[in-house]
Structure 1
Amino acid sequence: MGANSALTAKFGSGDVKVGVIGLGYVGLPLARAFIEKGVSVLGFDVDPAKVAKLREGRSYIGHIDSQVVAAMRAKGFDATTDFGRLDEPDAILICVPTPLSESRDPDLGYVEASARAIAARLRPGQLVVLESTTYPGTTRDVVLPILAESGLRPGEDFLLAYSPEREDPGNPDFSAPTIPKVVGGLDEASREAAVALYSRIVVSVVPVSTVEVAEACKILENTYRAVNIALVNELKVLYDRMGVDVWEVIAAAKTKPFGFQAFYPGPGLGGHCIPIDPFYLTWVARKHGLATRFIELAGEINTSMPAYVVGRIADALNDLGKPVRGSKVTILGMAYKKDVDDPRESPGFELMELLMHKGAEVDYNDPHIPTLPPMRKYPDLNMSSRELTPEYVRSRDVLLIVTDHSAYDWPGLVAEAALIVDTRGALRGLSGGRAKIVRA
């Protein structure tokens, strides 16, 4: 235990090298936070194109400027695709995706591959922290056995902890250093070492008793959002039928200074957390013989929203004497949230697919995504963002607002478009243009 105490003191001093596996929207800001506190960072990623850009001091994430990456490089940040170098860092932080399989079961393939790569190079004195969102039990039941194949003893030769990422891409008010960090360790020594490490970079660390508590904390945070979004999505459908503006209702309700938090409806859930994490919890609940009916109902409501939006588009076109088949539809915004360039799990892809299946001619515009990247479910779309010239806008039958980026000129679009279907409340209060505006 004396050796572990010395290691904890070492992490607290900052005289360590940190390895970050996965240099995406979570891993790269985390690496930046350590570098800016004088901690050496070696980043690992399987994508050689990303690594090449980073080593040239260039960014591939919209809300992180290339100047930031260049400054990181100047302070000692390095990136590699060589996982044989995993014995170099003192602490290894796993920030890889945890998607769902086609059957909506947890896909831990990236986590398991990372753990195997670490196990192949694991040396005494290293701390491994899983940051990827997952179900309670993953660190102990999945990651630990793989690391133990190295022959090293957990809690003695190496330390293991879980600390959920809380990154909110594009949020100017919160970044990795300003968000409290929850930390759970496999044992006391692991927790203390991880707390000491993260205390170097974040405003506060919240230690919890076990890795399972830390894992469950993250699932709770995102399930809370998913359930409340489902509530307002259901109310949106009801209030639209009643002729009541749900956006005005929410604006009025949030003036209450207690007992209410505003959540907003949309065309479906997007991003790497909220559409996925609750299903991790329902999966593990089934393993324990329980049903999470509340969560599953929320999932049903949220996943039904793209079909509801397409139905609203069909009704709006029908009112104009037009069928969906052959109509020219432009989706505004393919990112999953406002003012970011991240399209993961964006409802725009399902909306595009549903409209195409109905025979519509579908384009998109997104000022942050010039071309659509290959996605797990949609690998072959191969489309580029269309310029919203007045002539182009007038030529389209429908503009569908999926993401309400600040860059959009809403009055200009209302002036030129024939029909706009608004899923984000972006056009509230606008009138006097050419467009017929339909809420969806």
Structure 2
Amino acid sequence: MLSELIASLKSHDATIGIVGLGYVGLPLVLRFHEVGFHVIGLDIDQAKVDALNGGRSYIEHISAERIVEIGKSGFEATVDFSRAEEADVLILCVPTPLNKHREPDLSFVIDTTESLVPFLRPGQLLSLESTTFPGTTEEELRPRIEARGLRLGEDFFLVYSPEREDPGNVSFSTRTIPKVCGGTTPECLKAGLALYGEVIDRVVPVSSTRAAELTKLLENIHRAVNIGLVNEMKIVADKMGIDIHEVIRAAATKPFGFVPYYPGPGLGGHCIPIDPFYLTWKAREYGVNTRFIELAGEVNSAMPDYVIGKLVSALNAARKSINGSSVLVLGIAYKKNVDDMRESPSVALMERLQDMGATVAYSDPHVPVFPHLRDHAHFDLRSAELTPEILASFDCVLIATDHDRFDYDVIKLHAKLIVDTRGRYLQTAPHIVKA
């Protein structure tokens, strides 16, 4: 069956089923469609399905025109998981969050797999792309598939290939970002390489699904640890009266041995704040305490409180109490120039400010209405327009995410007090506080 599957992939006759139509899944839909595959989208969110079938996009950097285009070419989204039987390939792109105890929550992966299992058939390939700890593919997916009576490497193929999406980064696309892939058997790996080789410029094979799973964690833990380092350096530099952003710019002129990372009000996005905990949790099973990783997590998790402390001190210096003050938060996406709010530190800042008695508003050109978020308070707010009058009406303006579409000259001219967490202002001023 392997030869038949590979032949259908090379001829683009295979049907591709993308399960989970968010920031990872929807770009995959577009890429497979772009090279001529027939694609089915599956999701449990009826609103997403209705939007796609209606030619509407819910991700800012993906235009409605592209959704209309794939619809005209036969793409269909559905909540009916029985349609999985029509697909030759199923790619799982579902969330892997943490639970309230900061432990891995595999419920989306497991529930989705169990929803698909009744409709799996011989000749299919299943690829898991969700970030997870080493062993998930072998320990959670493999037994469920084999319980269906399917033989991995013979009549069914299972791989792990971690997603590498970077929303808002125009330098890289789904096609140009190299793709790591590991299979449960050598034959499974061959199927995975055949699949991704048709849509990705470079596919990087590894020896196992466990190696691929750990590769993804290493990539993001590398960033988390270095961001933790620079966040701690920011606190030290602040105590010494040194601008950490000036120091980073100077250090970055070294042409070897240094990679610049930048401090901020906390970690955001689906990967960096979460992935380290997947490894630290799994490492305990092997009697290993990942002290270095956990320390970086502690530093990064404390950054919202550090920012709030700086904001409170700045208000006190202006003879104002945080209780009763009005604060305008600029940017609620987790990074600049995108609409992605997953794990955004801005939300944590808004919650803390509100708990302390402040009146909170926000402005974000990429998020016009504050969305409903899992495990966070909901703010019944719309993005405020940054007019001189509105800026002047707030006791403090907090730059949490430095979108390029903000007019920083206007902000500087009209805001009474600015707390800048992103180093946007190179020059100091009496009403600008760097945090």
Scaled by the length of structure 2, the TM-score of the pair is 0.98
Answering whether residue 294 of structure 2 is matched by residue 296 of structure 1, we say yes
Aligned residue runs from structure 1 range 190-229, under 5 A: 190-229=188-227
Is the CA contact 2:19–2:41 (under 8 Å) kept in the aligned structure 1?
yes
Paired AA for residue 131 in structure 1: E
Partner of 2:327: 329
Shift of 1:356: 1.2
Q: Is the 8 A contact 2:49 2:79 kept in 1?
A: yes
Cα deviations by residue, 1:321-369 (Å, 9 ceiling, x for unpaired): 1111111001100000111111110001111111111111111111111
Equivalent positions of 1:103-252 (< 5 A) are 103-252=101-250
Matched position secondary structure for 1:364: strand
The 1-side partners of 2:375 and 2:54 are apart by 31
Cα pair 1:35 1:76 within 8 Å, conserved: no
- Percent identity between matched residues is 54
- Does structure 1 conserve the Cα–Cα contact (< 8 Å) formed by 2:179 and 2:196? yes
CA distance in 1, matches of 2:423, 2:65: 35
SS at structure 2 position matched to 1:87? helix
Q: How does 1:8-19 map to 2 (within 5 A)?
A: 8-19=6-17
246-255 or 297-306: bigger deviation: 246-255
Q: Which runs of 5+ in 2 are unaligned?
A: none
| Distance (whole Å) between structure 2 residues aligned to residue 103 and residue 312 of structure 1 | 28
Contact 1:164 1:182 (8 Å CA) reproduced: yes
Letter in 1 for 2:2: N
What is the aligned partner in structure 2 of residue 364 from structure 1? Answer: 362
Q: In structure 1, what is the equivalent of residue 403 of structure 2?
A: 405
* Residue type of the alignment partner of 2:104: P
For the 8 Å contact 2:397–2:418, the answer to whether it is kept is yes
In structure 1, what is the Cα distance between the partners aligned to 2:245 and 2:314?
20
Deviations 1:73-128 (A, max 9, x none): 22322111111111011000000000000001100111001111221100000000
Report which stretch shifted further, 73-82 or 338-347: 73-82
- Indicate yes or no: 2:435 matched with 1:437: no
Structure 1 residues 24-55: Cα deviation after superposition (integer angstroms, max 9, x where no partner): 00000011110000011100111111111111
Q: Secondary structure at the match of 1:391?
A: helix
What secondary structure, in the 3-state scheme, does the structure 1 residue paired with 2:103 have? coil
Q: Distance in 1 between matches of 2:205 and 2:330?
A: 42
Counterpart of 1:27 (choices 25, 28, 32) is 25
| Structure 2 counterpart of 1:80, from 78, 81, 102 | 78
- Does the 8 A contact of 2:134 with 2:211 survive in 1? yes
Q: Does 1:381 align with 2:376?
A: no
- C-alpha separation in 2, matches of 1:417 and 1:379: 27
Backbone CA RMSD of aligned residues: 1.1
Contact 1:411 1:430 (C-alpha < 8 Å) held by counterparts:
no
- From 30, 38, 59, give the equivalent of 2:36: 38
Cα deviation code 1:137-161 (max 9, x no counterpart): 0000011112222122222221100
Residue in 2 that maps onto 1:96: 94
1:166 is displaced (CA, Å) by 0.1
Note if 1:416 corresponds to 2:424.
Answer: no
- Does the residue aligned with 1:177 lie in a helix, a strand or coil? coil
Distance between the aligned counterparts of 1:155 and 1:191, measured in 2? 9
Inter-partner Cα distance in structure 2 for 1:108 and 1:46: 16
Distance 1:300 1:77 in 2: 44
- Residues of 1 paired with 2:363 and 2:50: CA distance? 28
Indicate conservation of the 8 Å contact 1:324/1:360, yes or no: yes
Separation of aligned partners in 2, 1:379 and 1:81: 28
Is the 2:392–2:415 Cα contact (8 Å) retained in structure 1? Answer: yes
Q: Which 10-residue stretch deviates more, 202-211 or 368-377?
A: 368-377
- What per-residue deviation string (whole Å, max 9, x for no partner) do you get for residues 232-286 of structure 1? 0000000011111111111111111111111000000000000000000000011
Post-superposition shift, 1:379?
Answer: 4.7
CA contact (8 A) 2:351 2:377 kept: no
Q: Which residue of 2 aligns with 1:394?
A: 392
Q: Which moved more, 1:131-140 or 1:387-396?
A: 387-396
Contact kept? 1:118, 1:147, Cα under 8 Å: no
What is the TM-score of this pair, normalised by structure 1?
A: 0.97
- 1:386 CA displacement: 1.6
Q: CA deviation at 1:134?
A: 0.4
How far residue 382 of structure 1 moved from its aligned partner, in angstroms, is: 2.4
How many residues are aligned here? Answer: 435
Query: CA–CA distance in 1 between the matches of 2:401 and 2:426?
Result: 15
Q: Distance in 2 between matches of 1:416 and 1:379?
A: 30
Q: Tell me how far 1:70 sits from its aligned partner.
A: 1.3
Which of 48, 51, 54 is the aligned partner of 1:53? 51
- Report SS of the residue matched to 1:11: helix
- Return the offset for 1:430: 7.0
User: Tell me, what secondary structure is at the counterpart of 2:271?
Assistant: coil
Q: Distance in 2 between matches of 1:408 and 1:47?
A: 33
Distance 2:359 2:50 in 1: 37
DSSP 3-state at the match of 1:201: coil
User: Secondary structure at the residue paired with 1:206?
Assistant: strand
- Equivalent residues of 2:331, 2:364 under 8 A apart: yes
Deviation of 1:421 (Å): 0.3
Task: Give me the whole-angstrom Cα distance separating, in 2, the residues matched to 1:282 and 1:243.
Answer: 35
